[in-house]
Amino acid sequence: MSELTLSREAKNALHTMIHNTAGIEPKDIAQVLGVSHKTVLNYANTNMDQHLPTVKAIESMMTFTRNPALVKAWAHKLGLMCVPTNQAEEKEHQVSVLERLLQININNGHVNQHIADVMADGVVTPSELADTVQILEEMEANLRGLRVALEKEAGKYLSALKREKA
């Protein structure tokens, strides 16, 4: 197995987390991690591949700083987005509904752009039709997912209501 490296985006996010978190200095992070101040500065150096933090150190830094820069960089690399929520552990169902809704909005934008491109020359080719159908099927799947997420939320409410009556 080859050595793992961080992407340029992840290194920049690590730099941001260490140097640009309001109210937290690199020396504070060093104290939390139990390493020297210089080690933390090396972690933030985007040109220093030989001084990367461990996964445990990254998790500790994110928990301490509450800075989502690295999580956002990784999410964007995977084609995802981060949605801030308060008390995410207690509101997992709402995140699921919101994520589905946002994905539908993204699909809607893709459909609008695609249809505008397809209709630009006034002709819909079989290839353009196939591409459009694929985008619409993805949107329909996200709509079904939104329905399931909402039904799951309603089921939790109804279950709690039944317990109250019992």
What does the pLDDT look like over 63-105, one tens digit per residue?
Answer: 999 988 899 889 888 887 776 655 444 445 455 777 788 888 8
Of 4, 5, 52, 114, the residue nearest 18 (C-alpha): 52
pLDDT at 63: 93
pLDDT over 60 (residue 34)? yes
Q: Quick check: is 106 in a domain? A: yes
Task: Calculate what percentage of the chain has a pLDDT beyond 70.
Answer: 86
160 shares a domain with 99: yes
Of the residues 50, 77, 104, the one at which a domain ends: 77
Q: Quick check: is 152 in a domain? A: yes
Of 106, 64, 78, 88, the residue nearest 10 (C-alpha): 78
pLDDT at 152: 82
70 shares a domain with 118: no
What does the pLDDT look like over 48-67, one tens digit per residue?
Answer: 888 889 999 999 999 999 98
Kindly provide the residue ranges of all beta strands, DSSP E only, lying in 56-163, ordered along the sequence: none
Kindly provide the b/e burial profile for residues 37-69, where b requires at least 16 CB atoms within 10 angstroms of the residue's own CB.
eebbbbbbeeeeeeebbeeebbebbbebbebeb
pLDDT at 88: 46
> In the structure, what pLDDT confidence band is assigned to residue 3 with cuts at 50, 70 and 90?
low
Looking up residue 21, the CATH number of its domain turns out to be 1.10.260
Q: Quick check: is 83 in a domain? A: no
152 shares a domain with 108: yes
Euclidean distance between CA atoms 69 and 52, whole angstroms = 16
pLDDT at 87: 46
Cβ(144)–Cβ(119) below 8 Å: no
150 shares a domain with 109: yes
Q: Quick check: is 86 in a domain? A: no
96 shares a domain with 70: no
Q: Which residue range is the domain that position 26 belongs to? A: 8-77
Of the residues 77, 108, 127, the one at which a domain ends: 77
Q: Quick check: is 1 in a domain? A: no
- The CA-CA-CA angle for residues 103, 106, 107, to 5°, reads 90
69 shares a domain with 18: yes
19 shares a domain with 42: yes
Q: Quick check: is 85 in a domain? A: no
> Residues with Cβ < 8 Å from 126, sequence gap 6 or more?
none
> How many folded domains does the chain comprise?
2
